Amino acid sequence: MKSVNCCTSPTLRVPLKVLWRRALPTGSSIGLAALILQSALPVQAAWRAPVRARHGMVASTNRIASQVGVDILKRGGNAVDAAVAVAFALAVTYPAAGNLGGGGFMMIRRADGQAVAIDYREIAPAKASRTMYIGADGKLIEGEGSSTVGYRAAGVPGTVAGMDLALRKYGSGKLKWADVIEPARKLARNGFTVSHGLQRSLRNNRDLLGRYSESRRIFLRNGKLWKEGEILRQSELAATLARLQKNGPREFYQGQTARLIADDMKAHNGLMSLDDLKNYRAKERVPVRGTYRGHTVLSMPPPSSGGVALIEMLNILEGYDMKVLHPFSAARYHRMLEAMRRAFADRAEWMADPDFVKVPTSGLIQKSYAARWREGISLEQAARSADIKAGTPVGAEAMQTTHFSLVDAAGNAVSNTYTLNGGFGSGVTARGTGVLFNNEMDDFTSQPGTPNRYGLIQSERNAVAPRKRPLSAMTPTFVLRSDGKLWFAVGSPGGPTIINTLLQIITNVVDYDMDLQAAIDAPRVHHQWLPDEIAHEPLGLSKETQSTLIAMGHTFAKTARVIGDAHGVMIDPATGMRLGAADARNEGAAVGY
């Protein structure tokens, strides 16, 4: 194979189009226990190697944005400086989820070991009410005025405030606010080349974007859809970014941009007011911390459910000898699925904004609590979700989100997940700003017992309330080596599938010694308690593995779909090299130097 520069991806390696060899001959007769152990998916195709670099690495869903981050590192910025620049760049180049009008979570781990979680999740407007999405007929409102479409679906955005907090407290100090916004402003003003993925994304969302004049004009060219290879310029967004550069981050919440947003909301019966914007603040929180086979796991605490559920599932799996099971066997998947089922039952009952309700975080992540769950798991038979109820611990996602991970030369790292919720959020672009708005209000419990857009059942604890943050599944995560040093950072979009995507990547690395790229590219499954079915991927599990799981009582969703779009960075403990991995499921790229 041709040698490859350390900072570029090996172009001669085959992308992940995995061909699976049948583990058992067709028509073979074999006992269930043996079938469980033997039904596996040996890989025939070569995995892609991670991208390698000496100094720093950025992995995101967009190569342009990843390069922006590396350019900031080269200028002397640290991982946080670069992360803020990447976030603003994605707001331009990845409009389905990159954003100024949404929110999310950033995990920061400094080279000295200090770790912090920044919560810049959206909040409900002050005029929001418990029953605002229930119609006179007692049913959930659909279409305009619902929790998913239009002006009333948007929570007060937190991205700009979150980036400001991160940069002020944890940036290098070498680069100013205006410096990290400049690459995004240039991209918005000068434009960038429309990729095949963006063309497809805009086309697939034309019904939503076509509802609103600004979105229709900018993203659909009033019906003349963007084509691959054309240059997309966003002059209003460039002007908004220029105002942020000149006047600082509070301009978005108190300046001309805030007034434009509030005026547009008022004109279209939206709830968000100038006071809502003025009063928004991002928060620092303490990361949730667990261990898996001697490795420390640091992840996002509530109001994200991700870190708690992830650690709860890892605790359940830690009681099994996973290494003796083939990584693609029914036996391995069965144990994971049963752990997923139980953690999501707890998520539905216990998770919400900790500023409004008591969340039993410490009880849910106790090893002893996981042991009680594990005692009820049969290794031969699937449980019925109808029979699984949330446990009693002590103290008792559009899918279009996006994630990026970074590490710098000093060992500072960032794992950031942010979102508009659904692809292109509520569909609304605030007039005069170029800013797409989220539909995060759907992450509240609009009506207990009724599934949200992701099929999730959630409790009264997550009900809509003024200035409350909706529950999330975003799970930006760090895994440390047994000596306490950073090993890897990873995260993914995908609504509720985020948590299970992280579970499988971590166990792929820890239990099966996969490199980070292989761990991310490997096939995935997802179970979220209700509905009682397994989400699975095209070209994922073999027919034999599926048949074995079905014989055990599992049910598969009728249609396969892609799960997640993970991006991670790792420090090779042997060499200190920075490794980057971007998911083969999308157009992402890891870029290093």
> 3-class SS at 429?
strand
Distance in angstroms (rounded) separating the CA atoms of residues 130 and 220: 35
Q: Which of 148, 159, 296, 401 is catalytic?
A: 401
Q: Of 399, 421, 455, nearest to 155 (Cα)?
A: 421
Pairs from 367-371 (Cβ < 8 Å, separation ≥ 24): 367/315, 367/318, 369/312, 369/315, 369/393, 369/394, 370/312, 370/315, 370/316, 370/318, 370/319, 371/315, 371/319
Closest CA to 579 of 512, 490, 463: 490
DSSP string, 311-349: HHHHHHHHTS-GGGS-TTSHHHHHHHHHHHHHHHHHHHH
Distances (CA, A) of 10 to 57, 95, 578: 15, 28, 15
Distances 470 to 182, 248, 307 between C-alpha atoms, Å: 31, 27, 15
- SS3 call for 235: helix
Start-to-end Cα distance in the chain: 22
Q: Which amino acid type is present at position 235?
A: S
Q: Which residues contact 133 (CB under 8 A, 6 or more apart)?
A: 140, 141, 145, 146, 147, 441, 446, 447, 464
Rg of the Cα atoms in the chain: 23
User: Which of 272, 364, 389, 338 is closest to 503 using CA atoms?
Assistant: 338
Question: CA 204: distance to chain centroid?
Answer: 21
Q: Cis peptide leading into 303, omega within 30 of 0?
A: yes
Q: Under DSSP, is residue 104 helix (H, G, I), strand (E, B) or coil?
A: strand
6 CB contacts (<8 Å, ≥6 apart)? 52, 53, 54, 577, 592
Maximum Cα interatomic distance, the chain, rounded to a whole number of Å: 72
d(CA 450, CA 137): 15
Q: 449 near 159, Cβ under 8 Å?
A: no
Question: Residue 209: which residues within 8 A CB-CB, separation 6 or more?
Answer: 202, 215, 216, 219, 220, 424, 427
Instruction: Identify whether 8 is a catalytic site residue.
Output: no
CB atoms within 10 A of CB 176: 13
The catalytic site residues sit at 401
